[in-house]
Chains A and B, each alone.
Chain A
Amino acid sequence: MGALRIDKISYYGDNYEFESPELNGILSIIEGPNGAGKSTFFNLLYFGLGGKVEEFESSSDTKHEQIVEDKNNYVLLNISISGQPFVFMRKIGDNNITIHEITIDSDVGKNKLLLTLPIFRRETAQRIFSDWILEKLNIPVVEIYQGGKNFKLNFNDLLRLIYHNQSPDPQGIYKPADNSSFLSDSIEVRRAIFQILVGKTLLALYEAVGQLKKSERELTLAKDVLKEYQSIVQEILNEYGFREVTNNVFLQQQINSNQEQLEKLQLARSQRVSTRPSPNEFLSALDIDKRDLGMSSKDLRDLDEKLGGLAREKSKLIEVVNSINLDLERISKVLFTHQNLELFSSDTCPYCLTHVSRVSGHCVCGNKVDENDYQRFFYSTSEYIEIYTSKRKSFETVKMAADDIDNEFKDLSEVRKNLALRILKLENRINTSYELNETQLNDLNIEQYEEKIFEIRDKLNELTQALKMENKIADHQREYEYQKNLTESIRQKVNLLDSAAKEELRARVMEFDKIYNDLMTRVLADCRTASINSDTYLPIINNGTYREASASVPKRFLYYLTLLKMSLTEDIPYPKLLLVDTPETAGIDEENLKRMFEQIRDVKSETEGFQILLSTGIGKYPPEFEHAVVMRVRTDNKLLKRRRQLAS
């Protein structure tokens, strides 16, 4: 996991400026009394990392006047992630961060501009600063689903367990959220912050859950597209006269056989052009027409029968429509009468139709009855309206069914019309063909072939179109199945990771407990045991009986320190950085404070470096840390320096 280091913090404005020394040790202490600018140091740092700092906002009650009223001012952070240096620049009052990547060995491209990213996400797909830095830190963007909403955990949220801000109430452990809302500060979110910082498998799980959600969305989409396409195709095919679904194998077969027939016909026709038919052939040609006529007549009879059935069905439906319509009219009149006269209610006697005082849960006769089962004779206004709406719905359904029949009737009538025309033509041709001379007969024969050829060509066209669409459906079907399998495999992965993550988290919590207990018992004499709640991850001291106020500072500080320590021995996402702003503010005696700081001494890393930035009062640290003090601010030597006036 990538370690985050702060190498240098600078501030430049028209009136003030500040440049920190290089912060290259593992511990850097900023020492000074209250009001000298210790918190300004951390505010600048937090602001530079995309945080919200109220003191830098002109509308704030606690605004930092020198900074808010300064002009052309910005914060510059030199940081490194896993050893790779970057510079972040953020203007005061601006919500974008510009990131420069520093390429050390290239003398031309030094300080290469990388990109400017917004801090806030305006739309889901937007890439923001947090996405960039989390990617660099190898932490995926985790989405939390809560109450039907999803919430993306940003870098600022994770900083809530990295940046130990100055807090008058350290009980909450977590730094308060920048924008505290029901969602962003929910227990779910806080749990997730802890889990992400300590659990690597958990990260994978959250990532997989994100993939699953995405895949599920795509699956639904694929399914909808498939369904939609199928219904469109069905409609088009209906227009072509395909009454039933035919898959592409059968369509191809039909195309092939039609193709063969077409070739045969074309051959026969070209032969006919060069030769004349014999009387025998004339008779057989006539036979074709006769057969055709017979079949067409049968088709016509079938069609007429079908049309008759449809007409009967339609008239039945119309009767239903009318009766529902009558009901609807009556109900509106009933409602109107009810509203005007208010004659009956559930407390109307069904015999004399006058008001009866009925005890609730009893019938008018006095016997006990379940109010719900009491079949009243009368309805309330809202019940009438309900009856009306439901009748209205059935009216529309029946109306739609009637319209469907209408459409089918229209389609079939069109088919019938063409068929009738064809029969007429055949009859004519058969009747006149006996009177034709040889040439005319030959022409007639060719005409017969051509007619057939046209018919088959039409059919072929339709079939090819249908095949194209069937193939497209098959594509969509494959896409859908692919997405289904993908979703299923991700789901299995999620399940696997889920149990692994639970296991890992349990181990992590145990480990955390061990370190935390160790640190706490070393600092506080009256602390026997310290652990964290396995559900909320908040500390429990002496099994929850310990209420000593003076313990709240170590309780919070050592919590952060435990996380840091864990990150040095375990491969967890915690970025090996601790920012601590004047922890004594919440009240702790100097001896305890020093003992608390002494615990830092034991934090050692064998592999990679880590960094602690700490601010505290003058001399309020163990003497052995003297060498780590990088800055001493005083009331007469504040953090921000007035900029040297340039001679104009």
Chain B
Amino acid sequence: MDNNEKIKRRLNFISGEDFYFLTYEVMILLDVLTTANGEFKDHRKLAYLIEIISNSNVINVLMRYKGKHVNNAHDKELLFSTFINGEIHEREIFKLILAFDKKGYVTINRSVHTEVLNIKLRRENLPAQFLINDVFMKDRKNAVILKQLVKRLSVLSFETFITKIYKEYGIQAWAL
């Protein structure tokens, strides 16, 4: 590959869309939000959760405005962007979960709607210490904060999830 090609590929890289980025965020979310035998209901929530825990600023907004509407335009925009990006990544997450299943990292339970996946993380099949490595400290911390802010995240229905994360903060969002 010549140099120009390399530079082109470098420029094409967007960290927030990298499959490995989505991979580690999904795994950390599943690890933090579910218990040893627990199931994460509805994979679609993951797409939004990734956007939230990967950016400490978003977590800060959720903490600051807990129980209130967001009244600052900048913060509103930030929170709304997680909704947009989450929606965009929904399909990628679906593919990713299926790939994890094939690798044995998760088991899948199809719900009433075949489009919706319930997931159980098979921690024993992941490299030891992988999920608790220091590099993920920030993301784990954010996930833990979120877990305290919004209870029962793993079992909430998608609609309730959207309500709790967006509508209660004064963001017009709708379950698609």
Question: 0/1 per residue, A347-389, Cβ < 8 Å to B?
Answer: 0000111100000000000000000100101110001001100
A387: chain B residues within 8 A (beta carbon): 10, 13
Contact A378 B15 (CB under 8 A): no
B102: chain A residues within 8 A (beta carbon): 354
Contact A383 B99 (CB under 8 A): no
Main secondary structure of the interface of B (DSSP, over half): helix
B136 at the interface (CB under 8 A from A): yes
Question: 0/1 per residue, A486-516, Cβ < 8 Å to B?
Answer: 0000000000000000000000000000000
Question: 0/1 per residue, A539-576, Cβ < 8 Å to B?
Answer: 00000000000000000000000000000000000000
A341 at the interface (CB under 8 A from B): yes
Contact B23 A343 (CB under 8 A): yes
Contact A334 B21 (CB under 8 A): yes
With beta carbons under 8 angstroms apart, the residue of A333, A377, A378, A383 that contacts B135 is: A333
B138: chain A residues within 8 A (beta carbon): 329
With beta carbons under 8 angstroms apart, the residue of B12, B103, B139 that contacts A343 is: B103
Contact A379 B55 (CB under 8 A): no
What bracket does the count of chain A residues touching chain B fall in? 20 to 34
| Nearest chain A CB to B27 CB, angstrom units | 8
| Nearest chain A CB to B79 CB, angstrom units | 17
B24 at the interface (CB under 8 A from A): yes
Contact B9 A383 (CB under 8 A): yes
A150 at the interface (CB under 8 A from B): no
Contact A333 B99 (CB under 8 A): no
Given A340-B130, A341-B23, does the pair A330, B15 have CB atoms closer than 8 Å?
A: yes
What bracket does the count of chain B residues touching chain A fall in? 20 to 34
Contact B98 A372 (CB under 8 A): no
| Nearest chain B CB to A334 CB, angstrom units | 4
Question: 0/1 per residue, A325-345, Cβ < 8 Å to B?
Answer: 011011111101110110110
B55: chain A residues within 8 A (beta carbon): 326
A336: chain B residues within 8 A (beta carbon): 24, 133, 135
A390 at the interface (CB under 8 A from B): yes
B113 at the interface (CB under 8 A from A): no
Given A337-B23, A338-B20, A351-B95, does the pair A386, B10 have CB atoms closer than 8 Å?
A: yes
Contact B15 A326 (CB under 8 A): yes
In Å, the complex CA distance between A386 and B9 comes to 10
B124: chain A residues within 8 A (beta carbon): none
In Å, the complex CA distance between A68 and B95 comes to 85
| Nearest chain A CB to B123 CB, angstrom units | 13
B138's nearest neighbour on chain A, judged by CB, is A329
Contact B19 A333 (CB under 8 A): no
B68 at the interface (CB under 8 A from A): no
In Å, the complex CA distance between A329 and B56 comes to 13
Contact B19 A352 (CB under 8 A): no
A351: chain B residues within 8 A (beta carbon): 95
| Nearest chain A CB to B50 CB, angstrom units | 11
Contact A331 B99 (CB under 8 A): no
B95's nearest neighbour on chain A, judged by CB, is A353
Contact A353 B127 (CB under 8 A): no
In Å, the complex CA distance between A354 and B12 comes to 22
B2: chain A residues within 8 A (beta carbon): 372
Given A337-B23, A354-B99, does the pair A330, B12 have CB atoms closer than 8 Å?
A: no
B24's nearest neighbour on chain A, judged by CB, is A337
Contact A352 B99 (CB under 8 A): yes
Contact A332 B135 (CB under 8 A): yes
B115 at the interface (CB under 8 A from A): no
A373's nearest neighbour on chain B, judged by CB, is B5
Question: 0/1 per residue, B1-36, Cβ < 8 Å to A?
Answer: 110011001101101101111011000000000000
B59 at the interface (CB under 8 A from A): no
- 3 cross-chain pairs, A with B, having the tightest CB-CB distances, nearest first: A353-B99, A330-B15, A334-B20
Instruction: Point out residues on A near B: beta carbons under 8 Å.
Output: 326-327, 329-334, 336-338, 340-341, 343-344, 351-354, 372, 375, 377-379, 383, 386-387, 390
A-B CB contact pairs (8 Å), 25 listed: A327-B15, A330-B16, A330-B18, A330-B21, A333-B20, A333-B21, A333-B24, A333-B139, A334-B20, A336-B135, A338-B20, A340-B130, A341-B23, A341-B103, A341-B126, A344-B19, A344-B20, A352-B95, A353-B19, A353-B95, A353-B98, A372-B1, A372-B5, A379-B13, A383-B9
